[in-house]
Amino acid sequence: MNVFFDAISLLISADNDLLMIVGLSLWVSLVAVLVATLIGMPLGAATALYKFPGRKVLVVILNALMGLPPVVVGLLVYMLLSRSGPFGVLGLLFSPTAMIIAQTILVIPIIAALSRQIIDDLWVEYAEQLISLGASPTRRMMTLLWDGRFSLLTAVLAGFGRATAEVGAVMIVGGNIDHATRVMTTSITLEVSRGNLALALGLGIVLITLSLSINAAAFLVKEAAENRQV
Amino acid sequence: MTQSLKFIVFFLTPLIVTLTTPSQATSAEYITLASTTSTRDTGLLSSILPIFTKGSGIRVRVVAVGTGQAIKIAKNGDADVLLVHDKKSEHSFVSDGYGVKRYDVMHNDFVVVGPVKDPAAIAGMKDVVKAFGKIAHNKSIFLSRGDDSGTNKKEYSLWHAGGIDTTKASGDWYRETGSGMGATLNMASAMNGYSLADRGTWLAFKNRKKLKILLEGDTRLLNPYGVILVNPKRHPHVKAAAGKKLIDWLISKEGQSAISAFKISGEQLFKGSLKQKLTLTR
């Protein structure tokens, strides 16, 4: 079909513009997921392991925030970063950094909530042993994070999926500027508005292929590492 | 301790890798231009701006949204130059102190597009207000931008001129998409409805299906674009010198001929406004 032909020729031709768009998509999403992992994973683990008042409320909030509407987050970050907003002096609006900030906010709850669940389940298994060893809470957290790393990878991949597929927030804070803030999803929106439906779908297939490759790579790494362990 | 080491390697390696990978941000001088979807979706800006960049060394980052939103972006100081098409709000933008001065830069015209079958029988009419009256009377589906864009404001003024209140018909035959021109045209072609479009976007649009131009040439359909430098007195961070250079270039002989030379399948989309009387395309 026409569309698939378009997609394949897009991939084969791989012109500079497309490479730049794909590169920026990956860069923005990877950095956002990385920062979100560094914040969300300890947050999720701490919520699972420490007992403190309001813990259950936090769990519910984290779970609910997994469904944060990207447009709302985009708008919020836009208002904060606008020259007329509180962080306007930084001049970050319409830059990849602004997109990273918005996506980080979107991804943190996903990684935190999923990590909390994973660590919670692991704790049931490890509790007796860790308590009898007299491990400190920090020690417990590190052990569980390490032993659960392959399951936690799924949480990270879920966050990455959200980041690459999201269009509402990056459109508002990035502005879809050619050669500066244009990513896969915003260029798909642009081609749709130009009535280039085939090209838009072609770009969509490229995006899906990319995300499939990344997930496949993660899966293979996980398999290899698990086999080595056994 | 090996466990802590493993821990650190597993979680921190990606951080180091990502942070040492060069960012794509370019350090060259650039300005931000807030403009309308019509100037980008047609391909005009990506055709003429490289010529300006080549001569001046200044890159132009285009944020293309509806005229209403573009003006808001400029008012907030998030752009250096504004290029839009709603004279009334452009003038108040300047008189309210947000902009320095408005320059005529180019123009094209609006066209009424609709299904080939033309249920309201407006094809070939010369009076756009009367044609809108027939669409309303016939309750034929009309797709409005509904997004406060220049096109949307023009469309409102045409309904208003015919004394038609579209608010009652909203959701019935009058459908506000709240989207850009292209998205609205996509919906018009899917629903076989009428719509008002700028000629540029229409010519560049590829998903017409059974839509065609039914009415054009009424002087009320003229669509002039203005360019304004955001006032550095209000927003000191505005790159005034570079922004001024872009405006000077747009209204220079070179800029004007670049605008006029831009064509899609042999058809000229915009006419330079300098030293030319505002005229309809045909």
Taking every pair of Cα atoms in chain B, the longest distance, rounded to a whole number of angstroms, is 85
Cα torsion B155, B158, B160, B165: sign: negative
**How many A/B residue pairs have CB atoms within 8 Å?**
99
- Which of B18, B47, B58, B78 to probe the A interface (max A CBs under 10 A)? B78
Task: Round to whole Å and give the CA distance between A158 and A111.
Answer: 8
Per-residue model confidence (pLDDT) at position A226: 81
Topology agreement, domain B30-108+224-272 and domain B109-221: yes
Instruction: Quickly count: other Cβ atoms within 10 Å of residue A116's Cβ.
Output: 24
Assign domain B109-221 to its CATH superfamily. Answer: Periplasmic binding protein-like II (3.40.190.10)
Domains, chain A: 15-185 (1.10.3720.10)
- The alpha-helical segments, DSSP class H, found in chain A are 2-13, 16-49, 55-65, 70-81, 96-132, 137-147, 149-165, 168-174, 184-193, 197-229
Q: What is the mean pLDDT of residues B28-42?
A: 91
CA distances from B64 to A175, A202, B16, B152, B279 (A): 7, 23, 35, 16, 26
**For chain B, domain boundaries:** 30-108+224-272, 109-221
pLDDT tens-digit profile of B235-279? 999 999 999 999 999 999 999 999 999 998 888 999 998 655 555
Task: Round to whole Å and give the CA distance between A223 and A214.
Answer: 14
Low-confidence ranges of chain A (pLDDT < 70): 1-3, 6-7, 11, 14, 230
- Which of A193, A199, A214, A226 to probe the B interface (max B CBs under 10 A)? A193
Instruction: Say if the Cβ atoms of A196 and B78 lie within 8 Å.
Output: no
Per-residue model confidence (pLDDT) at position B276: 52
Domain B30-108+224-272: CATH class, spelled out: alpha beta
A146 interfacial to chain B (CB closer than 8 Å): yes
Give ∠ CA A85-A89-A90 in degrees, rounded to 5.
105
Per-residue model confidence (pLDDT) at position B1: 47
Helix (H, G, I), strand (E, B) or coil at B268: strand
Task: Round to whole Å and give the CA distance between B134 and B194.
Answer: 12
Task: Round to whole Å and give the CA distance between B102 and B27.
Answer: 30
A69 interfacial to chain B (CB closer than 8 Å): no
pLDDT tens-digit profile of B161-212? 999 999 999 999 999 999 889 999 999 999 999 999 999 999 999 999 999 9
% pLDDT > 70, chain B: 87
pLDDT tens-digit profile of B119-176? 999 999 999 999 999 999 999 999 999 998 999 999 999 999 999 999 999 999 999 9
pLDDT tier at B22, thresholds 50, 70, 90: very low
Instruction: Say if the Cβ atoms of A142 and B4 lie within 8 Å.
Output: yes
% pLDDT > 90, chain B: 80
Collect all residues of chain B within an 8 Å Cβ-Cβ radius of residue A175.
61, 63
